[in-house]
Amino acid sequence: MKILGLQKVTLIDYPEKIACTLFIFGCNFRCGFCHNPNLVVEGKDFEEYLQKEIFEFLKSRKKYLEGICITGGEPLLTLKKEFLKKIKELGYLIKIDTNGSFPEKLKEFIGEGLVDFVAMDIKNSQEKYEKTINVKIDLTKIEESIKLISQLKNYEFRTTIIEGLHEIKDVEKISKWLNEVAGKKPEKFVLQGFKKEAKLLDEDFKKIKNTGEEFLNEIKEKIKNYFKEIKVRA
């Protein structure tokens, strides 16, 4: 496990909480539009960073921060249970951002009370999944995670919308799929607008325009009956 960086405060990564965000090195997906393309960047040594920086910081901010968001890359690729336990011992809430490809690990962490909130990225409709993530994927793993997460008290599913890669009909298919797999209307779905960043895994995505709020709201109207709550993050 290697830690790539720490954002010392965030008001948006952990809904309704003042938190910090920890970035974990590495991902098993190759989404061209990824804002954190840390596949080849050398991460800091886990033990050194853990002992000298992360926990010293967390101990010093106990009066000010409520939780920690652990993101990536894909954090469940390398995230250690012992690391989460030490965070919990300090009294922090833990949110994990995941692509849903490691349901066994997620189940273990949830079962031991080490996770308080999960945000799962749904990359696209089933038929477009591999095209979007650029690797082979066992969709039964994704579905296992959907089932598991939809049983939690605090969670959200979310999709980053890119015009051309995501049509309205694709998001309708995603919505129906989530309802079928969860066996109910999921609590919350977030439509995130694609934004160009200085670093993207595939530079060709810099040629694509940012996704506008108007298009996101158009999608929201089409899928409004599939979820208890839909949020737009333009």
Whether residue 44 is predicted with pLDDT greater than 80 in this model: the reply is no
pLDDT band at 50 (very low <50, low <70, confident <90, very high): low
31 by DSSP, 3-state: which? coil
Q: Could you tell me the domains of the chain?
A: 3-233 (3.20.20.70)
Whether residue 38 is predicted with pLDDT greater than 70 in this model: the reply is no
Q: What is the DSSP letter of 147?
A: H
Q: Which residue has the higher pLDDT, 61 or 6?
A: 61
pLDDT band at 53 (very low <50, low <70, confident <90, very high): confident
How many Å separate Cα 17 from the centre of its chain? 16
Contacts of 204 (CB under 8 A, 6+ apart): 32
pLDDT of residue 40: 40
Whether residue 132 is predicted with pLDDT greater than 90 in this model: the reply is yes
Q: Give the N- to C-terminal CA distance of the chain in Å, as an integer.
A: 32
State the Cα–Cα distance between residues 39 and 10, nearest whole angstrom: 24
**pLDDT single digits (tens) 141-198:** 999 999 999 999 999 999 999 999 999 999 999 999 999 999 999 999 999 999 987 6
For the chain, give the mean pLDDT: 92
Mean pLDDT of 107-127: 98
Mean pLDDT of 4-19: 93
Main-chain dihedrals φ then ψ at residue 84, nearest 5 degrees:
-65, -40
**pLDDT single digits (tens) 59-80:** 999 999 999 999 988 999 999 9
State the Cα–Cα distance between residues 174 and 145, nearest whole angstrom: 15
- Please say whether the beta carbons of 166 and 198 come within 8 A: no
pLDDT band at 134 (very low <50, low <70, confident <90, very high): very high
Whether residue 114 is predicted with pLDDT greater than 70 in this model: the reply is yes
The DSSP annotation for 198-220 comes to S--SSGGGGGSPPPPHHHHHHHH
pLDDT band at 47 (very low <50, low <70, confident <90, very high): low
Q: Which long-range contacts (CB under 8 A, 24 or more apart) does 2-8 make?
A: 2/26, 2/43, 2/44, 2/45, 2/46, 2/78, 3/43, 3/44, 3/46, 3/49, 3/50, 3/54, 4/36, 4/38, 4/41, 4/43, 4/44, 4/73, 6/53, 6/54, 6/57, 8/57, 8/61
Tokens 């273990």 found at: 108
Mean pLDDT of 16-39: 86
State the Cα–Cα distance between residues 178 and 184, nearest whole angstrom: 8
